[in-house]
């Protein structure tokens, strides 16, 4: 026993240092490999390379981990190829990673050549190639490769179905979905939901969603985002509330962003605040994307104060966050604050992008800063390397038009280096109506109709110009022209959120349950407004009827009905927030000034162009919209 015991003691004493050294070395390489993989996931190629260079004898895992870092970073294909050539004995994982790198860099020929040269291909090799071809729109090649696969797994079926959805071929997507061995696969079902939603087939999406036995956050988000994108913001919010109450899964940042977009689109400020409160309880659920979505929601719902507070509290701000806040100031008529914020953005070292200049030009438009706006436009490419696109040119036209410089605007349109957007002529047409310039109105309308013959806005605006000049025969001619081209007018409506519910109003509304009380309040307001000096602007009653009838039509415009409802439904002194899908008419804008004095309320109106804050008879737009 003693001899044996001594033997083992001697044995371990001789082997222990070597064994410990080898174990330590192995542990060190293992740790480094994990660190490289971490940097690869975050896209930090430099750090991954630094850790790799510290390994005396890299293993195949080390080589593959660094190769993965290159494969996930577009523009690193050459580096990946050089690294691959240095790998002593590349395995199938090495080949698959390089294959992915070719596809990420859109080198389809290189990917196909590598794939065909691979002596050993596993399921990942086939799936990567099928998915890559499908993602680049080569769906026929992807289908051919899919059909030749020796074995297909759930990833293979997801790749081909998603590929057909991406190119808009829902028929083939459904055909392959129906052939899949596991039709209850959550990824496959979610892909079909997204596909049906992208095609506007909401009922089909609901059918799949309702039959799912298990749903994850991606499934919920596909449904919520689809509803919002298809104009069903309120339904999207309802589904989000069901998701929260069901407690099946916790919403991810994408779900939260989609739900906040629903709040923005439906101007549901109270719902947005509730989501903000929920997010605050789960700090892990908020990231920069969710923070920016919250910021945009507050801006678009008219609560600029909360947006400013949130922006100041954000620990990390990217260019998207800054753009959202600059845009918020612009839309609310605070041009000076938008421009000052742009200065702060430059001071922290962030470079402006294309969107930044759209928001800056928008700020100049709403504030009437013509010269400053032109300087920003001219400095874009020269000082910041941002080449102006069609949207920037449209902003300049808007800038000139709103200042009444119609001739300059038309000359500028003729100088645009590419085909102007329909919105450019829409802006000119609206300005021509405001400034009663028949010649430019007809020019803009005809150009707009050429580009979008079924856009009813062009006909309506031109008819409005003629109506304001009492040229009713021309109004009739334009309406006939509109009918011949099958253009359908977008109905105007206004809405307001009271007690978490959204109430919608149209001109001459006869359906609201509180209509009698609303009309009573309106009649009371009308009398007091006239006593205060208000004179209805009959020019905005665009029908060939008597003055008394025109006045009654103006009184029952949707935004006036919404404001009257808010006044009888909310506490005295609280701000009133009203939203309109079209540009507010001149008479309503004039009338709301008087209402803000009489009721001693701040009235915030968002139309399709900007925010108007009415306080004590004045509007932040300075009557410039």
pLDDT in tens, 73-83: 788 899 889 98
Q: What's the pLDDT score for residue 16?
A: 47
Q: Is residue 497 part of a domain?
A: yes
Phi, psi of 487 (to 5 degrees): -85, 130
Q: Is residue 206 part of a domain?
A: no
SS (H, E, C) 518-551: HHHHHHHHHHHHHHCCCCCCHHHCCCCCCHHHHH
Bridge partners of residue 611, in order along the sequence: 606
Give the helix/strand (H/E) hosting 261. Answer: helix 253-266
Domain boundary pick from 260, 292, 316: 316
Residue 37 and residue 65 in contact, taking contact as beta carbons nearer than 8 Å: yes
Domain boundary pick from 288, 316, 344: 316
Give the DSSP letter of residue 352: P
What's the residue count for the chain? 625
Q: Is residue 503 part of a domain?
A: yes
Domain total for the chain?
2
332 alpha-carbon distance from chain centroid: 19
Q: Of 55-69, 460-474, 572-586, 593-607, give the lowest mean pLDDT range.
A: 460-474
* Six-digit token string for 443: 């020019």
Which pLDDT tens digit goes with each residue over 188-223? 999 999 999 999 999 999 999 999 989 999 999 999
pLDDT at position 19 over 70: no
Q: Is residue 255 part of a domain?
A: yes
As a dihedral over the C-alpha atoms of residue 294, residue 300, residue 306, residue 311, rounded to 10 degrees, the angle is: 60
pLDDT at position 105 over 80: yes
Q: What's the pLDDT score for residue 479?
A: 86
pLDDT at position 327 over 70: yes
SS (H, E, C) 159-227: HHHHHHHHCCCHHHHHHHHHHCCCCCCHHHHHHHHHHHHHCCCHHHHHHHHHHCCCCCHHHHHHHHHHH
Q: Which of 28, 46, 48 is nearest to 37 (CA)?
A: 48
Percentage of the chain beyond pLDDT 90 is 60
DSSP output for 414-475: HH-SSPPPHHHHHHHHHHHHHTT-HHHHHHHHHHHHHH-TTBHHHHHHHHHHHHHTT-HHHH
pLDDT at position 541 over 80: no
Give the DSSP letter of residue 276: H
- CB atoms under 10 Å from CB of 479, counted, come to 16
Q: What's the pLDDT score for residue 285?
A: 54
Which pLDDT tens digit goes with each residue over 511-538? 899 999 999 999 999 999 999 999 998 8
Domain boundary pick from 316, 341, 365: 316
Q: Is residue 525 part of a domain?
A: yes
- Rounded distance between C-alpha atoms, residue 465 and residue 459, angstroms: 10
What CATH number does the domain containing 290 carry? 1.25.40
Question: How confident is the prediction for the chain on average, in pLDDT?
Answer: 89
**Sign of the alpha-carbon dihedral angle for 345, 346, 349, 353:** positive
Q: Which of 537, 529, 531, 539 is nearest to 593 (CA)?
A: 529
Q: What's the pLDDT score for residue 228?
A: 96
Q: Is residue 253 part of a domain?
A: yes
Q: Is residue 561 part of a domain?
A: yes
Q: What's the pLDDT score for residue 459?
A: 84
Q: What's the pLDDT score for residue 283?
A: 64
- Residue with more model confidence, 467 or 235: 235
Domain that holds residue 551: 493-619
Q: Is residue 585 part of a domain?
A: yes
């Amino acid at each position: 026993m003693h001899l044996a015991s001594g033997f083992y003691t001697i044995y371990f004493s001789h082997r222990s240092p070597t064994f410990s050294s080898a174990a330590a070395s192995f542990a060190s390489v293992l740790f480094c490999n994990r660190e490289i993989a971490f940097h690869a996931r975050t896209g930090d190629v430099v750090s991954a390379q630094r850790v790799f260079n510290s390994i005396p004898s890299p293993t195949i895992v080390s080589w593959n981990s660094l190769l993965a870092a290159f494969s996930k970073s577009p523009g690193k294909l050459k580096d990946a190829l050089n690294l691959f050539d240095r790998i002593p004995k590349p395995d199938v994982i090495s080949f698959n990673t390089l294959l992915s790198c070719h596809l990420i860099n859109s080198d389809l020929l290189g990917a196909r050549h590598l794939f065909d040269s691979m002596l050993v291909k596993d399921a990942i090799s086939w799936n990567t190639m099928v998915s890559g071809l499908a993602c680049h729109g080569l769906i026929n090649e992807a289908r051919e490769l899919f059909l030749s696969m020796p074995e297909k797994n759930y990833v293979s079926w997801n790749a081909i179905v998603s590929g057909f959805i991406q190119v808009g071929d829902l028929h083939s997507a459904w055909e392959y979905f129906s052939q899949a061995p596991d039709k209850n696969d959550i990824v496959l079902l979610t892909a079909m939901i997204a596909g049906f939603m992208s095609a506007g087939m909401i009922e089909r999406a609901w059918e799949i969603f309702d039959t799912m036995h298990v749903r994850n956050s991606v499934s919920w988000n596909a449904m919520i985002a689809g509803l919002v994108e298809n104009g069903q913001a309120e339904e999207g919010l309802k589904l989000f509330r069901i998701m929260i109450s069901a407690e099946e899964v916790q919403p991810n940042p994408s779900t939260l962003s989609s739900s906040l977009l629903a709040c923005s689109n439906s101007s549901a400020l109270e719902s947005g605040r509730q989501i903000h409160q929920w997010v605050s309880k789960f700090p892990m659920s908020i990231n920069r994307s969710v923070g920016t979505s919250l910021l945009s929601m507050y801006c678009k719902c008219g609560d600029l104060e909360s947006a400013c507070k949130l922006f100041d509290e954000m620990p990390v701000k990217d260019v998207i966050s800054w753009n959202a806040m600059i845009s918020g100031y612009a839309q609310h008529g605070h041009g000076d604050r938008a421009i000052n914020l742009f200065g702060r953005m430059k001071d922290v070292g962030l470079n402006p992008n294309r969107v930044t200049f759209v928001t800056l030009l928008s700020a100049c438009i709403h504030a009437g800063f013509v010269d400053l706006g032109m300087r920003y436009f001219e400095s874009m490419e020269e000082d910041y390397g941002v080449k102006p696109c069609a949207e920037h040119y449209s902003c300049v036209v808007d800038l000139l038009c709103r200042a009444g410089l119609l001739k300059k605007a038309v000359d500028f349109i003729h100088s645009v280096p590419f085909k102007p957007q329909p919105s450019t002529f829409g802006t000119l047409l609206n300005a021509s109506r405001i400034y009663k310039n028949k010649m430019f109105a007809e020019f803009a309308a005809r150009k707009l109709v050429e580009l979008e013959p079924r856009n009813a806005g062009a006909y309506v605006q031109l008819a409005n110009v003629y109506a304001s000049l009492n040229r009713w025969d021309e109004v009739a001619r334009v309406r006939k022209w509109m009918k011949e081209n099958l253009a359908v007018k977008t109905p105007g409506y206004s809405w307001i959120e009271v007690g978490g519910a959204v109430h919608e109003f149209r001109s001459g509304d006869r359906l609201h349950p509180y209509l009698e009380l609303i009309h009573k309040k309106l009649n009371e307001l009308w009398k007091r407004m006239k006593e205060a000096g208000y004179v209805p602007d009959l020019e905005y009653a665009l029908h060939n009827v008597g003055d008394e009838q025109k006045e009654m039509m103006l009184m029952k415009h949707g935004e006036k009905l919404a404001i009257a409802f808010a006044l009888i439904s909310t506490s005295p002194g609280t701000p009133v927030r009203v939203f309109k899908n079209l540009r507010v008419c001149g008479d309503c804008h004039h009338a709301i000034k008087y209402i803000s004095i009489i009721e001693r309320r701040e009235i915030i109106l968002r139309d399709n162009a900007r925010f108007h804050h009415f306080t004590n008879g004045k509007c932040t737009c300075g009557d410039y919209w």
